[in-house]
Amino acid sequence: MIDIKIIRENPNLVKQNIKNKFQNEKLPLVDEVKRLDERWRNIKFKADRLRSERNKISQEINRLKKIKKNKEANELIKRAKSIPNQIKELENKTENLEKKIKTIMCKIPNIMHKSVPKGKDESQNKVIKKIGKPKKPKFKILNHAELAENLGGADFDTARKTSGKGFYYLKGKLAQTSAAMINLARDYMVSQDFEYIEPPLMIRKKVVEGVMSFQEMENMMYKIENEDLYLIGTSEHSLIAMYMDKILKKTELPQKITGFSSCFRKEVGAHGIEEKGFYRLHQFNKQEMIVICEPKDSYKFYEQMLKHTINIFKQLNIPVRILECCSGDLADLKAKSCDVEAWSPRQKKYFEVGSLTNTEQAQARRLNIKFRGKNLNHFPHILNNTVLATPRALIALIENNQQKDGSIKIPKILWKYTGFKEIKCKKD
């Protein structure tokens, strides 16, 4: 959510930002907010004026009583008694207007960082970096789902019977390897001075509305029936909510936290949910990182957080590339974002394994998170980034470490977690 002062002082900037995101249908929202805000300010001015009048009348009543002018004092008392009801009526109007304004403001996209390239959709995202040399084996690379089954490490058919499409049973050494990757990610982040946290897996609607756009909420979140609770789509949601309605000391910034959780997503209309495998799922595990910092430091942390994810995949010997998300591919809360994509030897292309986002002040405004400055309280910038998400990272690991006989070599960095160096094929 942007600062309403921007709409008051520079509505054309907000409109141009909407145009750059190719969301012209939202242009009328700016004028609507401006109109409602002007009305809100007029009513608030009337209420403030009545409060001032009430104080002056009280003083005058006391003065008149002291000089025994009771008749004049009684006339003023009658006037004073009518004022609270008038103020209450005006306060109800301002409260209703505030709710309407906030609802509309939550639909207006965040102001994008000036470095974000203009583009209509993800097809116009820009490759900014490649790390590692893509592997091109001379033997046929098996589909990851087929390979996982051959290794005795996954059961998709039983999961469809018990839970439906988009679920799986992960077993044996493949499950141990998946857990080892998460353990590596956790230990790496702790070594970088991030506090490790295991957050709640359910959050209230107020939190959901604070951390994501309404469209994302509708397409992603599972609602718990008859409860004000939603299953989290990522630990980012409940990690950031730890700070809701808090005022941090400036000396407490930056806040650097990393959290592990299971994640739950509806994946409405997602291509691939019908396919057997790990790519599109309703449930998966992820290690996440969050930074809450002063605005002046946020893009320094943006670069640092990206390096952390790159370092993890380097240690796993998985080639990756970084895509700068264009304007049309940014969700409404994002000021700047990039995707991390891993190389798939089977498909001979990259696929998304994580993303980094700076929401700047948007999430802080929605959740009322502030820090204490020299004279005033300010909204911090909030950033989030995927450290590692299984099982997508598992797809990349088994494809990039697949051997001709169908076995999988385990990267050396994981040996201390797995206790084994390879997974052998169990099927001829």
pTM: predicted TM-score of the whole model, two decimal places: 0.90
Cα(83)–Cα(50) distance, integer angstroms: 7
In this predicted model, what pLDDT tens digit does every residue of 308-347 receive, in sequence order? 999 999 999 999 999 999 999 999 999 999 999 999 999 9
- Give residue limits of the domains in the chain: 4-105, 122-423
Residues with Cβ < 8 Å from 194, sequence gap 6 or more?
256, 257, 258, 289
In this predicted model, what pLDDT tens digit does every residue of 129-144 receive, in sequence order? 999 999 888 888 888 9
Q: Give 377's strand partners.
A: 372
Low-confidence ranges of the chain (pLDDT < 50): 428
Determine the pLDDT at residue 427. Answer: 55
Cα(374)–Cα(105) distance, integer angstroms: 28
Cα(182)–Cα(196) distance, integer angstroms: 12
CB 284 within 8 A of CB 264: no
Determine the pLDDT at residue 350. Answer: 96
Strands 126-131 and 320-324: antiparallel
Per CATH, domain 4-105 is 1.10.287.40:
yes
Residues with Cβ < 8 Å from 411, sequence gap 6 or more?
315, 316, 317, 397, 401
Residues with Cβ < 8 Å from 208, sequence gap 6 or more?
217, 221, 230, 237
Tokens 């505030």 correspond to 98
Per the CATH hierarchy, to which homologous superfamily does domain 122-423 belong?
Answer: Bira Bifunctional Protein; Domain 2 (3.30.930.10)
Helix (H) or strand (E) holding 215: helix 214-220
- Decide whether 4-105 matches 122-423 in CATH topology: no
CB 199 within 8 A of CB 230: no
In this predicted model, what pLDDT tens digit does every residue of 365-393 receive, in sequence order? 999 999 998 888 999 999 999 999 998 99
